[in-house]
Structure 1
């Protein structure tokens, strides 16, 4: 049902629909990148705070699974931004 509504809206207003989808992907990708960066900064601040409390001279690194998860979210957010850009460029050709 939802796909029928989306397709009928795309048939009636192709440029507007493509631009709305491009805006959706761009905003979603940008928010994903922003939230990943904020989470990464909070993890670094938490590690520094725990190092000060424990009086550890060597700073500890973020564990490997968290680094992989952050890298995945950075990649996924970047792909969403590129998809939004390409969809916006495509909508100018309609």
Structure 2
């Protein structure tokens, strides 16, 4: 379990989709990637978004809107994925880790 200390915002209930969960269970390196990505997300590091989307997230953080981070790692292309999304709901009730095709 990941415990956040200095977060930029509340994460709410932490969930991941079945696809992410299954790969986390099967691949230790992917599990580390997910944990590291979540650590970046909670600090307001939006990952591999373009500059405009990063600014949108910065404003969303101030206004209490939904937050989206995108993290890429080509090491996992062998699994047919290289990108995860982390979405924190506007009301901060939940944060979901998912693959883009699971949205």
Per the TM superposition, whether the score is higher than 0.5 is no
Larger relative contact order (C-alpha < 8 A, sep ≥ 6)?
A: 1
Q: Name the structure where helix makes up a greater proportion of residues.
A: 1
TM-score w.r.t. the length of structure 1 is: 0.28
TM-score w.r.t. the length of structure 2 is: 0.26
Question: Which has the higher Rg, Structure 1 or Structure 2?
Answer: 1
Q: Name the structure where strand makes up a greater proportion of residues.
A: 2
